Structure formats: C-alpha cells, structure tokens
Structure 1
Amino acid sequence: MTVSLTKRMTAEALGAGFLVATVVGSGIMADRLADGNTALTLLGNTLPTGAILVVLILALAPVSGAHFNPAVSLVESTMGGLPWRDLAPYVMAQVVGGCLGTLTAHGMFDLALVQTSATVRTGAAQWLAEFVATFGLLMTILAVVRFRIEAIPYAVGLYITAAYWFTSSTSFANPAVTIARALTATFAGIAPADVPAFILAQCLGGLVAMVLMSWLLGLRPGKRSA
C-alpha cells in the first residue's frame, strides 16, 4: 500500500504528540501522587511511556513506519528505508507533533501552556547516557526488524522501559522528544541550553549503532529501498 507523504507526516506528528503527552503528562501525574518520592515518580513516568510506545507502533506503523524519532528517521534514510526527500518532512512532523504534545499535557493538567524548563541535564555522564540509550534503541530496532519484525512494538516499548532506569539521563533517546521536553517546567523537563548536546549524542549513538549492526547483521546501508 502506498501512503501519501501528507498522511505519513500526520501519523508521525500524532505518534510523537501522543508519546510526548504521555511522557510529560505521566510525569506530572506521578509527581503529584508520589508525594516527593523520586523513585516512585520515575516509575510512574516509565511504565506509561513504555506502554504507549507499544500502542502507537501497533497503530501507526502501517501508515508511516512509526518512527516518531528523528534519529530513527535519519538511520532509516541512510539504510535506504526512507527516501532522503522525506527525511526533513518526517523530522518536522515529529518535532511539531512533540511540541503540541507538551502543550496538550499542560492543558490537561491546567498548567500554563507555554513554559521553559530549568532542569539542568548536562555533563559527560549525561551525554554518554544519551549516546548509549539511542545506540541501544537503534540496535534493538535494526536487529528485531531483521529477525522478528512482528515483535518490534514490544521490543521498543520494553527497551525504553528498561533504559529509563539504566541510563543516568532517563533515556530521552529522541531529538524531537528532547526539544518538546524543553518546553515544560515539570518533572520531564530539560533546560533548553542542554538540548543541543543531547541531540548530538543521540544522533551519534544512532549512527554508530547503524554501522555496527550493518556489519553484524550483514545489512547494506543505502540498499534497502529505492
């Protein structure tokens, strides 16, 4: 089935929007209910994020491929799975959708729609964590697509659920989500000044995973589709 670019962009925006609304909204709800217990707040933020990824990929993968993530789209274009001409529209849809997801979460919790985070997330440990988080995400996607494509929704959801806890950055692993999370002063936020380094680490992690997995799995970058 051939799906128009407009429909694919809409699916990417919807997916990124619901993903960010879940990340931000569950962070707000968990923070309110956990009464200052940071571990419980993080757990309350983690489980809905992993769950919504399974749902969104199942629902929207047949339309757009369910990237919801510029790092994934970049690797897909490099591997030949997404035409280069579609990369910029995909990224734009993901970023716009993610930012709207943040605003929607604020609206649902009766907060000021426009905010800026003051949460500092910087330093070598955080950057390494984002490199590792995104490396692992792309490793998971490339390997599971190669051998068990039907398991992708569950593999991605479970990976992100785990990566929330084994990375010091709580695994943003997504440039669009990172940008959108700079627009909230809630639990999920990141200071705007810290966004560029996170995005660089994420893109590097995704590309290094692509190189390694291409060798490991015998994939040929640029040859998957016309």
Structure 2
Amino acid sequence: MALWRRAVAELVGTAALVIVVVGSGIMAATLSPDIGIELLANSIATAFGLAVIILTVGPVSGAHLNPLVSLADWWLGRRNGSGLTASDVGGYALAQVAGAIVGAVVANVMFDLSPVSWSQTARDEPHLWVGEVVATAGLILLIFSLARSGRAAVAAPAVGAYIGAAYWFTSSTSFANPAVAVGRAFTDTFAGIAPASLPGFVVAELVGLVVGVGLLALLYPRPGQGAEQVVLPREEEPAPAGRGNG
C-alpha cells in the first residue's frame, strides 16, 4: 500500500478519534454537572469509537493512530524488516499530528465554539506524568503482545476496552498518545490540555514507550508481526501485472 494512502488513513483515523474524545467531552459537560458522569460518558464514547475507527482504517494503514505505536513498530521490526521503515514512521507521525489538530477544530466547530480555543486546563503535576507512563506502557504491551501471541484479530475491541478502562485507573485519564495530546491543546473544553503541559506529557509517554517495549521483550521475546498487522491487518495492493512482489 502506498505511503500516501496509508498516511491519509492515519490522518482521517486520528482526526476521528479526537472528534470522539473532544466531542463526547463537550456533550457530557453540557448535559451533566457531575464530573464523574462526564468522565463516564467520555470514556464509554472513546472506547466504542476507537474500536470502530480501528476497524474502519485498519485495513489501509494498520490503524496506529499514535506516533508511539508507529515508532515501536519500526524499532521492534528493524532487524528483520517486519515493521515500518523510518520514512514510514515520519509520514505516519505527521499525518497523526495533523489529524489530531483537524479533529479538535472540527469538534469545536460542531458545538458552535471557536475553531481554535487554547486549553486552559493545566495537567503538569508529577503524579499525572506517572499516570501517562503507566497508560502508555500498558497500551504498547497490549498491542504488540497480541501480535506475538497470535491474537491480533481481537485488537480493535481490546484496544478500545483498554483505553476506556485506563480513563479510570490512571490519574492522567490515559492520553497515551502525543498526537492526540497536541490536538487536545486546541480545545478549551472538558478534554483539553494546556499547551504548557504538553512537554511533560510527551516525555512521560516516551518513557512509557520504553517501559512497554521492555516488558514486551521480557514477556514475549519471540519477534512477531509488525504493528501494521497488529492493530488490524492491512490489505496489500496487488502487484502490477508482470511484476513480482520483491
């Protein structure tokens, strides 16, 4: 599959994910004065929405929707050529960040807010960074352990369920995604994060990536498929007539 087509799928998928996260957060805050109910509605919508998005764009790009998943895929597959190339990772990451920003803008406009309203929600306490390390490590371990144990077919509901649960068991409400974190800075709503809080979250997520990959190496040392075949197996374009696949 051509990189540009996969990048478009990543952009659309990440935009849709941020629309779900931000839009459901706005709707929940509008309909309920109770922050617990708001978080419940936001987490349920995100869990179901994420599973559906993975099923929709997965056959094209693998539905990474997250630069850390793409980076882990490259790192884990660099020796045997099973993962993304470095140029693929760059293309995916750019598309994911752009998609997250587009998603936040669309969600704002849908609810009659300013297209860009920088979040004022500070999330810069150390305990929130610990939450992001835990959330990200668990996500990376989940995705790649499914591949190495031959259970990639259940990735869509499993990843959706994990993120929905992690809203509640992590102090940070489980961003676990630098692209989505950047997008959420563009909305001053329930799901937002102040731009000044982004560096701490991104660093914590990178630490979580390292922890997740380390746990994977300990628990599942056998190399497996790349993540383009993990989150959801993507389809390959047929080779042109008269040419091989090599």
Instruction: State the TM-score, normalized to the length of structure 2.
Output: 0.87
Q: Give the equivalent residue in structure 2 for 1:15.
A: 13
1:64-213 equivalences in 2 (<5 Å): 64-80=61-77, 81-147=83-149, 148-213=151-216
- TM-superposed CA distance for 1:221, in Å, is 9.2
Greater C-alpha Rg = 2
Q: Aligned partner of 1:145: which letter?
A: A
Code of the residue aligned with 2:158 in structure 1: it is: A
- TM-score, normalization by structure 1: 0.95
In structure 2, runs of 5+ residues without a counterpart are 78-82, 229-246
Q: CA deviation at 1:157?
A: 0.3
Name the SS for the 1:206 alignment partner. helix
Contact 2:132–2:176 (8 Å) recurs in 1: yes
SS of 1:89's partner is helix
Aligned to 1:40: 37
| Preserved CA contact (<8 Å) 1:79 1:222 | no
Cα deviation, 1:121-165, whole Å, max 9, x if unaligned, reads 012100000000000101111111222110000110000010000
Separation in 1, partners of 2:164, 2:95: 24
In structure 1, list runs of 5 or more residues that go unmatched: none
- Cα distance in 1 for residues equivalent to 2:224 and 2:67: 17
Q: What is the alpha-carbon distance in structure 1 between the residues aligned to residue 155 and residue 225 of structure 2?
A: 21
- The structure in which a higher percent of residues are helix is 1
Change (3 A) 1:124 1:7: same
My pick for the range that moved more, 204-213 or 42-51, is 204-213
d(CA) in 2 for partners of 1:17, 1:83: 23
Q: Distance in 1 between matches of 2:158 and 2:53?
A: 13
More displaced stretch, 69-78 vs 209-218: 209-218
Q: Which amino acid aligns with 1:19?
A: L
**d(CA) in 1 for partners of 2:226 and 2:10?**
24
Of all paired residues, the percent bearing the same amino acid is 46
Quick one: which amino acid aligns to residue 58 of structure 1?
L
Shift, 1:87, TM fit: 0.9
